[in-house]
Amino acid sequence: MAKKLTGIEIYKLLPRTNCGDCGFSTCMAFAMQVAAKKVALDKCPHVSEEAKAALGEAQAPPMRTVTIGTGDRAWTVGGETVLFRHEEKFHRPCAVAVRFGDDLPAEELAAKVKEASGLRFVRIGQEIGVNLIAVEHRGGDFPAAVGIARENTDLPLVLICEDPDTMGKALETCGDSRPLLYPATAGNLEAMAALAKEHSCPLGVRGKDAEELAQLTPKLKELGVEDLILHPAAESLAGTHAELVRLRRLALKKTFRPVGYPTLAMVEGDDPFEVAAQATAYICKYASVVVLPPVGPEVALALLTVRQNIYTDPQVPLAIEAKLYEVGEPDENAPVLVTTNFALTYFTVEGEVERSKVPAYIAVVDTEGLGVLNAYADDRLTAEKIIKTLKEYGVMERVRHKKVIIPGLVAVLKMEIQEETGWEVIVGPEDAAGIPSFLKNEWNPN
Amino acid sequence: MGVEVPDVKESFPQAIYTVTIGATPEDGGTRAKVVTVGGETALPFHTFEGEIPHPPVVAMEVWDVPGEDWPDVVREPFSEVMGDPGAWAVKCVEYGADLICLRLVGCDPNGADKSPEDAVQAVKRVLETVGVPLIIWGCGNPEKDNEVFPLVAEAVKGENCLLGTITQDNYKTLVAVATAYGHKLIAESPVDINIAKQVNILAMDAGFPLEKLVIYPSTGALGYGIEYVYSIMERTRLAGLGGDKLMAMPILCDIGKEVWGVKEARAPREEQPEWGDERLRGPLWEATTAYVYLMAGADILVMRHPEAVRATKAFIEKILGRQG
């Protein structure tokens, strides 16, 4: 098992001449910076190849990153550094794949591949979609099915076939498109490794648990295949969940290199609720690739949203675009509500306005992703800023009532806005939950 | 040649508090059965390294007034019973509810403004018709809740209900009546782990035992801030298992109320054709929201749609390894 090297250990591998060519005055100072991962070893022009190899191995990230496919649609997974997103963040959103059997009639397969590739949605300004199309050998003409899939999608493929000969024939139709080959098992290891190497493809490895996988990966590495994705194929959801947790811990907490790779989970069944349940568990807990059975837009939208949410960087306040939003079809009598561009605040306000069934304008002030109280405390939600925002959006020209509703939590801004503009400022509820009754009972454009 | 795989099992110094809701006649109540949550010594569903003695449970929501703003998809399963909290509760139990969460929405002064006596009637009606334990949730208006709960808590004396919610600004009345009449409490905080802890401290300082609290960290629907709550729940659970006595409570998620307010659950297909059929999409959004919270450590889920409830309960069984 490789360990992280200390500054002293790195120092021993350096020329120890204190030449200063690296920019540091001593080799020791440089070694300390390398150990802290603040500087790369190759900043030292005199370092030996042996030292590089020793360090390269030790300094390699605990989980490899692996890219499936090429070009715009290529998807990179792995490289994760934490077990819980609050510790830092999850770095590379897991790939969502949809799989089809090669036993489907050609036309049906073509249509379904097209349909699955089109499962794309826009949420909070981001496009989210299915990333991979998997073709599974189920006794049909596998190479032909792979060819059909390629013609009908621009997404990278996952080729699921245990027989290396059939896999090899299918690969002939794939050019250098780098599909994920799956599965390498104890039974076909060498032949699959040869195919992965020849076509420079990432390779999915199947074993029932961490122990079995840890036997297979060193052999694959020896055969020259290192872009691996591990599938712990336990018999149950409970078992697979347990193995995914173990693999992540082994990779990150023990730097146990034989399983320092991204992971894959297969979702089984056709009940949409069950498919969503398994996939949600795997997205939350540590699958880098989740392979779904064919799903409709309902399941796809839910799961792609789970993925988007779980992989959101918790260190960055989630902000939406500051602009004028319309709920329903607001006319000249519609209320104008002011809020912040913290996504959670905005979506809560929007939801409550929708619930009120009163068409309205929501004028979003750019508070740099802060909620109402934080923004107020930080001078990012001021009377001046609200006035400027409303003027910029020209919203007061769209309504005839010249009234504006501000959040109840910043009631204190009322007089200043009113005196500055002559608009009538109405103090709204402190909690968004009060918006429906406020709009129904208290709002009056006249 | 064998590769030796290091052991990565983890153990924690403290178990989550075990909280029982409801009381049978021998314990001074009238419930046919009680519900116990908490007691886990491991992260969610980590049965390979600790005990999960009491799996998560599902409470279904009943109101003291009809759910006017419930979309059709989730109204239909209850359309014949929405006028009667008792009949409504019976329906929920038929659909698999482990508990009833009676929400006194009708008491809201900005709504039907029902009296505390009306609330007592609704509570008693539910107690008569079903044998499962009760969560009783106020209308959310602090002044009104403080008028309603003294009467309600007394009327259900000995039933060991879970009452909610206390917040950092409004906890004294509820703490007093829960203590006097033997109930448990839901401690609410606005997606803020520090305030979550603060509410627990306030309740403790007012003389309420920590082991009788359930944390409600606020809930966001899938797609609407769920990740914030998810991480707060994970941090809370890690702190609790790690030995922080102020954070070792079971966690409640109020799923149905949030989910059925968002457009992914509500919008009819005509409005959002690319999103598919709302008859599947709505319940699926609710179930998927529940799945995410279960992975973060939820012990009690408050839900609405029968299909989502069924699926959530099936998921809990499966990920615990109790069925295929």
**CATH number of the domain residue A78 falls in:** 3.20.20.20
**Distance between CA atoms of A368 and A379, rounded to whole angstroms?**
11
Q: From the CA of A25, how many Å to the nearest CA of chain B?
A: 41
Among A388, A393, A406, A384, which Cα is nearest to A335's? A406
Q: Which domains does chain B have, with CATH numbers?
A: 28-319 (3.20.20.20)
Q: Which residues of chain A have pLDDT under 50?
A: 1-2
**Is B224 in CB contact (< 8 Å) with chain A?**
yes
Q: What is the pLDDT of residue A206?
A: 98
* pLDDT tens track for B183-232: 999 999 988 999 999 999 999 999 999 999 999 999 999 998 899 999 99
Residue B1: pLDDT above 80? no
Do A268 and A297 belong to one domain? yes
**How many domains, in total, are found in chain A?**
3
Asked whether B250 and B213 are in contact (CB, 8 A), the reply is: no
CA distance B97 to A127: 37
Residue B196: partners with Cβ closer than 8 Å, 6 or more residues away: B187, B189, B215, B217, B232, B236, B247
Q: Give the CA count within 13 Å in the CB-facing half-sphere of B323.
A: 7
Q: Which residues pair with A180 in a beta bridge?
A: A158
Is the confidence at residue B78, as pLDDT, over 60? yes
CB contact under 8 A, B69 and A214: no
> pLDDT for B104-121, tens place per residue?
999 999 889 999 999 999
Cα radius of gyration (chain B) = 19
Residues A244 and A208 in one domain: yes
A2: in domain: no
Same domain, A51 and A75: no
pLDDT recorded at residue A3: 53
Neighboring chain B residues of A85 at a CB cutoff of 8 Å: 227, 230-231, 234
Residues A354 and A261 grouped into a single domain = no
Q: Which of B 69-128 lie inside 8 A of A, CB atoms?
A: 69, 108, 110-111
User: CA of A276, closest CA in chain B: separation in Å?
Assistant: 7
In chain B, % of residues over pLDDT 70: 99
DSSP A257: G
**Mapping DSSP to helix (H, G, I), strand (E, B) and coil, where does residue B101 land?**
strand
Which amino acid type is present at position A129? Answer: G
What's the rounded Cα separation, in Å, for the pair A247 and A230?
9
* pLDDT for the residue B51: 96
**Residue A319, domain member (yes or no):** no
Question: Can you give the pLDDT at residue A2?
Answer: 42
Among candidate residues A277, A310, A343, the one where a domain is terminated: A310
pLDDT at B107: 97
**pLDDT reported for residue B56:** 98
Q: What is the CATH number of the domain that holds A422?
A: 3.40.50.11600
Contact A348 B3 (CB under 8 A): no
In a domain, A317, yes or no: no
Nearest CA in chain B to A120: B274
> Tokens 């023990």 sit at which residue?
A254
Contact yes or no for B295 and A215 at CB 8 A:
no
Type of residue at A153: T
CB–CB of B291 and A303 under 8 A? no
Which chain A residues have a beta carbon less than 8 Å from that of B227?
85, 309-310, 312, 314
What pLDDT sits at residue B323? 66
Q: Which pTM does this prediction carry? A: 0.88
- Strand duo A157-160 + A132-136: pairing: parallel
Domain limit, last residue, from A21, A41, A59:
A59
Q: Give the pLDDT confidence score for residue A249 in this predicted structure.
A: 98
Give the pLDDT score at B324. 46
Choose the closest CB to A280 out of B6, B48, B291: B291
Claim to verify: residue A117 and residue A180 sit in the same structural domain: yes
Whether residue A378 is found in the same domain as residue A261: no
Instruction: Establish if B276 touches chain A: CB-CB under 8 angstroms.
Output: yes
Amino acid at A317: P
* A256 in any annotated domain: yes
By the CB < 8 Å criterion, does B191 face chain A? yes
Find tokens 């872009």 and name the residue: A227
Structural domain contains residue A81: yes
| Count of beta carbons in the 10 Å neighbourhood of residue B111 | 15
For residue B224, give the amino acid letter: Y
Both A152 and A215 in a single domain? yes
For residues B70 and B313, the answer to whether their CB atoms sit within 8 Å is: no
- Chain A partners within 8 Å of B284 (Cβ): 272-273, 276, 298-299, 302
Q: Which domain holds residue A256?
A: 65-310
- Alpha helices per DSSP H over B47-188: 72-75, 85-94, 116-129, 142-155, 172-181
| Contact call for residues A217 and A230 (beta carbons, < 8 A) | yes
Q: Which two tokens stand for residue A415?
A: 């007089």
Residues A33, A105, single domain; the answer is no
Helix, strand, or coil here: B128?
helix
Contact criterion met (CB < 8 Å) for B48 and A296: no
Q: What is the pLDDT of residues A222-261, one digit of tens each?
A: 999 999 999 999 999 999 999 999 999 999 999 999 999 9
pLDDT digits (tens, 9 = 90+) for B11-21: 999 999 999 99
